[in-house]
Structure 1
Amino acid sequence: MNHYSNPVISGFHPDPSVCRAGEDYYLVTSSFEYFPGVPLFHSRDLVNWEQIGHVLTRTEQLDLSKAGSSGGIYAPTIRYNNGTFFMTTTNVSGGGNFFVYADDPRGRWSDPVFVDQPGIDPDLFFDEDGSVYYTTSHDANGQGVYQSKIDIQTGERLSEVSLLWRGTGGQYPEAPHVYRIGEWYYLLISEGGTEYGHMVTVARSKRPDGPYEGYPHNPILTHRSQLKSIHATGHADFTQGPDGSWWAVFLGIRPAGYPNHHYLGRETFLAPVAWTEDAWPVIGDNGTADEIMPAGNLPLQPKTEPAVRDNFEDASLAPCWNFLRSPDPSNWSLSAKKGSLTLYGSGDTLNETGVPSFVGRRQQHFSFRASTHLTFAPKRAGEEAGIAVYMNERFHYELAVTQIAGARKLIFRRRLGTLWKVESEMPWPHDTVVLSIRGDRADYVFGFARSETEDPVRMGQGECRMLATEVAGGFTGVFIAMYATGNGVRSISPAHFDWMEYRVVE
């Protein structure tokens, strides 16, 4: 029997939503304060996913200028209807709920169409009679799932917002999705909060607008209080394969060590959906999932591994790279030095919720090695460029070249809440350096070398658990980033990152 491995998309990829168009599946996840917004993936088998871009790629679609850490874009929903793809989400830091659409998901998505409905985690449901229902959670009047009928051309509400279901009593009933399957309308939600008490529950009705009756044996997915390697399972979405089988994508975490702590973020998992004799869905093995799962009739495709090294030779950044908040075009360039990513340090640092010169990618594996070749000759005091392990503005580690009192230095620094310290520094008279990070389940080890043929010299280390959500807070995961800053003023010295590697260590 074929099997597949969970998570199907590793690293910080929470709140997955999936749709099918023919033999193609498309999946989106939350992106919070990172730009571009809403990572977009494609698959032919629900297991092997390739990131083909982002849905929100333009500043007129996505304003993150006021987004603090874990603000910005919350849970999206993607749907395919009559040849058009729709994605709806919430920008909690400006604008509220909206949707965009595209004929080709790999192409240009529309400008936002805003929907005057409170709440978060919006869902679009297209009924067979042409009606379109917009469902959200956390109305201003209380906890629950709310719905209205909308005009899909304009986003205008065609009905009042009404309460659909309050769930089974767990906190934060959210992440609603409505489906019509057979004679029933099903309402899928999450409860318990997106932490260790997370769970998925379901209700059904003969009408899309209710009333909804909960499944007597809810929840249909949860790992709460279980001895599993996967925890906090919830926020699920259903899709049906061409063979008629049903599958659920959902988020979960993989804690490292005891007490539990996770820093890779909430990841995307997959499990089959079975149906009871009286037509209720149950996810996985009676509501649980494992890291190795039977693939059933999924037409498993060959796994494609992403490139280890990016030489920055293309005209645009690869889909794995992200900026913090709405990017300032003057902070970066792919053309200033051919075959390099050039960062011009802004006045903002990694310690603020501003717009630092920052280009990062998600840490997606417990054991990895990341390295970059930096060409940087700081001319003024405070100019700095290097590589960082970043959870948020209060929790990060960095290894950098900087100028201090007229001397060029290599420094390793740790920021943990209100504790801030340069752990080590040394003179560095050279214009180039290879900076590296080696990570495992316990520590990040930082090193430097004159060239990539030399073994790195250890400069310092930081514990992984200190960047975990249980310590640092928030809804995101760790990024491995290149950055530059003038530490309060714009830098005049460009930082050229000639290449960046992210290598999985087995």
Structure 2
Amino acid sequence: MAMYQNPVLYADYSDPDVIRVEEDYYMVASSFTYLPGVPLLHSKDLVHWEIINHCVSSLPFEKYEEPSHGSGTWAPSIRFHEGIFYVFIPLPDEGIFVASSKDPYGEFKLHCLHEAKGWIDPCPFWDEDGKAYMVFAYANSRCGIKHRLDLVEIDPLCRGIIGEPVTIFDGEQIAPTTEGPKMYYDQGYYYILMPSGGVAVGWQSVLRSRSVKGPYEYRIVLHQGNTDVNGPHQGGWVIASDGRHWFIHFQDVKELGRIVHLQPMCFHNGWPFIGTDQNGDGIGEPVKEWKLPAEGKPEYKIAQSDDFVSSKLSLQWQWQANPRQSFYSLNGHRGLRLFCWANPSRENLLWYAPNALTQIPQQPAFTALTKVCLCGEADGDMAAIGMIGHSYSYLGLQRTDKGNRLMFYTGNVTNKELKGEAQEIPEISCPYAGNTVYLRLELFSDKTYRFSCSPDGIRYTFIGCPQPLCRATWTGAKLCLWSANKSNIRSEGYGEYEFIHIEDRSGGKEGF
């Protein structure tokens, strides 16, 4: 039988949740300040995935017109009920929202279920008596609570809550930092799967009760044990069409965020058991490989490279704030035009830039190459490639009063939340003859990356020293393309990116 290897996605699809609808699997993930948000992925075998949609096109609050680091769309859940896909999405500062659609490939409509500050990680549940509920957790950073799960009745059509929440679990002593609950019913029990103990070193717990409102019993069902998979938790349980049980979850690898693992799951004495017991302590541990859930299925891939031939941006791209049509153009020219936007509210730094176009790296080592023509109108116009994180850098071709120059900038984030604060330094400036350049970024397995450039795509010159890869706020580092006016004046200039080609250097298959 064919085997799969963990992680199934070496990519930052944080806080995954998964469902099966007939022979199709669907997964959603957090995206925080990056929009469109809450990517929707599809698979036939739980191992090979493709992006098919986003559940949130933009957020209906003015603050998301700018980057709001660490805010935005937190851990979502997805359910299919009476022909409708429901995605419950927490905004920790605004409340619980619901995106719904009859077609996973179509438009999702977003509405607010309940305004609240600090409610997070909601999961809906429709009981056999026709009543509906939502289990949720609390954000310590917003309301000072991090160890409690509450349950509230909701309208079955997900239009609002009914009554007041009741506490069904308080893990202050046995499961600190209780979050990410997912509710299920099977074989006479209500189960709530939940991560405990925090992202970096936590574990996966399960609650069990004969009644939806409890009381609930508690058990640890997955931990790191003797493996190198730290903090294995926060995910979803799904039953395959052949009756086998699976659990999909993340592992935090810091610089590149929270990557996705798939574990076999079974039941023992009425309790879920996840992974395998490798050290004899009776608790499951993550597997490195296992039998493929289904053979002969399409081996989907998540697109990375882009020749920008479509009239719409490909689904791997997200902006650092609410999308605007004024950021870019794809129609009637060669490649993607990113306009040299001036930031009207503050200094034009990458950390502050709503028009930074980002994507999630899909492997721990890669080469990204773009060919860009700077069509500068004003001094300060720049077109660049970079990596966004708490320390970041980018290399661009910039127009100055002394002609075009290659500019290498480094940045350091001093306030990581919401609008935040950052400092940037132009480390290197050198003259460049012409307005077209190949810009290359190479990420290495030692978690450093380096830039180089070429006038012809053949001979490359390194620019600057290798840079340490650094995570962003609640996410891994992001690859980005960015055009801006560094003098922060209005300009009609733009960078025209003919392509971006990304090649896997980690030993896997090349991106496309």
Q: Deviations over 1:274-321 (max 9, x none)?
A: 211x210011113211332333x5335242345563111111111101
**Does 1:165 pair with 2:169?**
yes
Partner of 1:343: 338
CA distance in 2, matches of 1:62, 1:250: 33
Distance 1:343 1:264, change over 3 A: same
CA distance in 1, matches of 2:156, 2:301: 38
Amino acid at match of 1:136: F
**Does 1:329 pair with 2:338?**
no
Quote how far apart the aligned CAs of 1:5 are. 1.6
Partner of 1:448: 453
Distance 1:356 1:66, change over 3 A: closer
The answer as to whether partners of 1:414 and 1:462 remain within 8 angstroms in 2 is no
Distance 1:489 1:62, change over 3 A: closer
Question: Which one is further off, 410-419 or 236-245?
Answer: 410-419
Quote how far apart the aligned CAs of 1:478 are. 1.4
CA distance in 2, matches of 1:156, 1:172: 27
* SS of aligned partner of 1:310: coil
Map 1:133-148 onto structure 2 (within 5 A): 133-138=133-138, 140=143, 142=145, 143-148=147-152
Distance 1:62 1:49, change over 3 A: farther
Partner of 1:126: 126
**Does 1:292 pair with 2:289?**
yes
CA distance in 2, matches of 1:417, 1:353: 8
CA distance in 2, matches of 1:101, 1:379: 43
The answer as to whether partners of 1:311 and 1:339 remain within 8 angstroms in 2 is no
Partner of 1:233: 232
CA distance in 2, matches of 1:299, 1:62: 47
Map 1:255-274 onto structure 2 (within 5 A): 262-274=254-266
Quote how far apart the aligned CAs of 1:60 are. 4.6
The answer as to whether partners of 2:408 and 2:426 remain within 8 angstroms in 1 is yes
CA distance in 2, matches of 1:76, 1:181: 22
Amino acid at match of 1:340: G
CA distance in 2, matches of 1:308, 1:78: 25
Distance 1:455 1:304, change over 3 A: farther
The answer as to whether partners of 1:309 and 1:502 remain within 8 angstroms in 2 is yes
Match of 1:181 among 161, 181, 186: 186
Partner of 1:249: 248
The answer as to whether partners of 1:378 and 1:408 remain within 8 angstroms in 2 is no
Distance 1:62 1:8, change over 3 A: farther
Question: Which one is further off, 155-164 or 29-38?
Answer: 155-164
Question: Which one is further off, 394-403 or 133-142?
Answer: 133-142
Q: Deviations over 1:57-92 (max 9, x none)?
A: 245599723652121110000001121110001122
Match of 1:388 among 382, 386, 389: 386
Distance 1:171 1:228, change over 3 A: same
CA distance in 1, matches of 2:503, 2:384: 18
Identity %: 26
The answer as to whether partners of 1:145 and 1:163 remain within 8 angstroms in 2 is yes
Q: Deviations over 1:329-355 (max 9, x none)?
A: 2121112x5231111122236736544
Partner of 2:362: 364
* SS of aligned partner of 1:160: strand
Q: Which runs of 5+ in 1 are unaligned?
A: 255-261
CA distance in 2, matches of 1:157, 1:304: 38
Alpha carbon RMSD of aligned pairs, Å? 2.2
Question: Which one is further off, 297-306 or 75-84?
Answer: 297-306
CA distance in 2, matches of 1:192, 1:421: 38
CA distance in 1, matches of 2:72, 2:31: 8
* SS of aligned partner of 1:357: coil
Amino acid at match of 1:275: F
Amino acid at match of 1:413: Y
* SS of aligned partner of 2:85: strand
Match of 1:464 among 459, 468, 492: 468
Amino acid at match of 2:264: P
Q: Normalized against structure 1, the TM-score is what? A: 0.89
Q: Deviations over 1:346-401 (max 9, x none)?
A: 2236736544422121112122110111010434222221101112xx42110101
Partner of 1:13: 13
Q: Deviations over 1:86-134 (max 9, x none)?
A: 00011224x3111121111111112314224651000011112221111
CA distance in 1, matches of 2:272, 2:226: 24
CA distance in 2, matches of 1:64, 1:356: 9
Partner of 1:413: 409
The answer as to whether partners of 2:18 and 2:27 remain within 8 angstroms in 1 is yes
How many equivalent residue pairs? 481
Amino acid at match of 1:189: M
Distance 1:415 1:135, change over 3 A: same
CA distance in 2, matches of 1:41, 1:338: 30
Partner of 2:212: 208
Amino acid at match of 2:318: N
Q: Deviations over 1:25-74 (max 9, x none)?
A: 10000000000010111111111111112111245599723652121110
Distance 1:356 1:108, change over 3 A: closer
CA distance in 2, matches of 1:8, 1:61: 35
Distance 1:63 1:425, change over 3 A: closer
